Amino acid sequence: MATSLIGTRIRERREAMGLKQSQLAREIGISASYLNLIEHNRRGIAGKVLLDIATRLNTNISTLQEGAETALVQELQKAAIASDCPVEITRIEEMVGRFPGWSRLTAELQAKSSRLNRIVTSLNDQLTHDPFLSQSLHEMLSNVTAIYSTAGILNDMPEIDPTQRSRFHRNLFTESQRLSENSQALVSYFDQMAEGEKPLSTPLDELDVFLRDHGFCFPVLEGSDLGDGLLEKLPLNGFLAQAEALGFRPDHLAIKFGCDLATVFRRLAFLPTSDTYPDFGLISCDISGAVTFRKSLPGFTLPMYGAACPLWPLYQSLAQPQVPMRYVLETPEGGEFVAYAQSHILTQPAFGQPQVISADMLFHPLPADQNQSQTDTIKIGLNCRICSRQECHARREPTILGDTN
C-alpha cells in the first residue's frame, strides 16, 4: 500500500533539501522526465534506483517506503466504506499522493463526523432512557398544567368566594415553588453534563463510572478468592499464558479452564490494557434488553440503558439460550469487530415460573491480518435513531441523521 506513495516522499525530501528535480535525476543517472513520473506516483521504483535516491537524500529505503501517508490511506478507506456515495476506492493512494492536503481534510472531517455521531448516540440514549430526566420533565409538565388550570379558573370566575380564592392562590404559590425547584434541579443536572461530569442517576451509572475510573482492572484483587472464586480459578498470569497460546478464543479458554463462556467473557474484559493482546469490550443484558453491564471500546459505542441495534449477536442469542455465537461486525463508520455472544438461564427450571435469562457479548477489534469475506460480516448500527444505514431490514424508527444516500 505505502510503496505507491514513495514518489511523494521523494519529492518532499528533495524539496526540503533544496535540490532541483533535474539535479537529482542527473546525479543518480536517470532522466528528469522519469524522475518526474516517479515523484507523482505514476511509475514504480525499486532496486538500485531506489537505493541511489535514498543515499543521495541522506535517508534509508524504509523511510521512503513507510510514512504517515499509510495511516491517512487507512482513514480514507474507512471513510469510503462508511459512505453510501460511489467512491473510487482503488485510487485512494493516488489521491493521497497527488492531493495530500485535501486527503487530510477529508480524513479529519470523517473523524469529526464519527465523534459527533458518538455524542449524538449518548445524548439520544440518555434523553430517551434516563430516569431522572423522564421524572423531572414529567413533574415540570404537571406543575405547569396545575398552574395553568388554576390561573384559568381565577381569570374566568371574577366573582369567587374569598375562601376559595385564597385556596387557589395557595395552590398557585405551591405549584410555582415546585416548578422553580424542579427547574433548578434540571439546570444543575445539565450543567454537570456541560462540564463533562456525567450525573449519576442510577446504580448502573455509579458502577460504570467506578469501573472506568479504574480502567476495568484491579491488580490488588488478583490472586484473591473474591468474586465467586473467579480470580482464584483464572489467575492473571496463568490465564494470560493460556489465552495467548489459544489466540484469545473464549470457547477454547472455557474448555481449557472448565468454566462457562460468561466467566471467560468477564475475565477477558477485566484484563489490564496491553499492546500485546486485544482490548476487549463487553455488554450484558437481561431478556427485556435492558443493559446490566457495559464496557465500550473506541469505535463501538454501547447504550446506557435501552436496547441498541437488534442485529447485534447480544440480542440474537436471547432466542437461542446456551448456543455460542461468533460474528464479525462492521459499524457504519467502517470499523470491524469480532463478537462472541451467548445467553444463559439464571434460574432453575420450575413449572409455572418464567425463566430468567441473561445474555453477554464480548467483542474486540478485528486484527489487521484477518481478512473476512462479505458473507462472514454483519453490517450493524448502534441505534436506529443515529444509524446511517437507510436500507436495513431491522430498522424500527427513522434516523435523525436525514437521508444519507
Distance CA 332, CA 81 (A): 8
Highest mean pLDDT among 127-136, 302-311, 355-364: 355-364
- Over 80: is that where the pLDDT of 189 sits? no
Distance CA 168, CA 152 (A): 11
Distance CA 49, CA 37 (A): 14
- Over 80: is that where the pLDDT of 361 sits? yes
Q: Cell for 161?
A: 368566594
Is residue 34 within 8 A of residue 43, CB to CB? The reply is: yes
Question: Would you say the pTM of this structure is higher than 0.75?
Answer: no
- Over 70: is that where the pLDDT of 316 sits? yes
Distance CA 106, CA 92 (A): 12
Contacts of residue 341, defined as CB under 8 A and 6 or more positions apart, other chains included, come to 312, 313, 314, 316, 317, 324, 325, 326, 327, 359, 360, 361, 362
Mean pLDDT of 293-320: 85
Nearest CA-CA partner of 125 in 309, 288, 269, 298: 309
| Cross-strand bridge partners of residue 364 | 338
Rounded to the nearest angstrom, the gap between the alpha carbon of residue 218 and the centroid of all alpha carbons in its chain is: 24
Topology adopted by domain 2-110: 434 Repressor (Amino-terminal Domain) (1.10.260)
CA dihedral 259, 265, 270, 271 (to 10 degrees): 80
Distance CA 239, CA 248 (A): 10
Report the pLDDT value the prediction gives residue 403, as an integer from 0 to 100: 47
**Could you tell me what percent of the chain has a pLDDT over 70?**
78
Mean pLDDT of 145-158: 84
Confidence band, pLDDT 50/70/90 cuts, at residue 341: very high
Nearest CA-CA partner of 251 in 357, 326, 359: 326
Nearest CA-CA partner of 96 in 105, 85, 87: 105
Query: What backbone torsions phi and psi does residue 235 show, to the nearest 5 degrees?
Result: -60, 145
Report the pLDDT value the prediction gives residue 123, as an integer from 0 to 100: 62
Least confident of 74-83, 136-145, 287-296: 74-83
Report the pLDDT value the prediction gives residue 318, as an integer from 0 to 100: 92
Report the pLDDT value the prediction gives residue 218, as an integer from 0 to 100: 75
Least confident of 24-33, 60-69, 248-257: 60-69
Of 246 and 217, more confident:
246
Rounded to the nearest angstrom, the gap between the alpha carbon of residue 17 and the centroid of all alpha carbons in its chain is: 43
Least confident of 162-176, 304-318, 350-364, 373-387: 373-387
Domain definitions of the chain by residue range: 2-110, 131-194, 204-386
- Over 70: is that where the pLDDT of 176 sits? yes
Q: What is the mean pLDDT of the chain?
A: 79
Least confident of 227-231, 297-301, 398-402: 227-231
Least confident of 72-86, 311-325, 336-350: 72-86
Mean pLDDT of 84-90: 73
Report the pLDDT value the prediction gives residue 405, as an integer from 0 to 100: 39
Confidence band, pLDDT 50/70/90 cuts, at residue 323: very high
Query: What backbone torsions phi and psi does residue 44 show, to the nearest 5 degrees?
Result: -75, 165
Q: What is the DSSP string of 272-297?
A: PP-SSSPPPEEEEEETT--EEEEE-B
Distance CA 294, CA 302 (A): 7
Report the pLDDT value the prediction gives residue 136, as an integer from 0 to 100: 72
Confidence band, pLDDT 50/70/90 cuts, at residue 152: confident
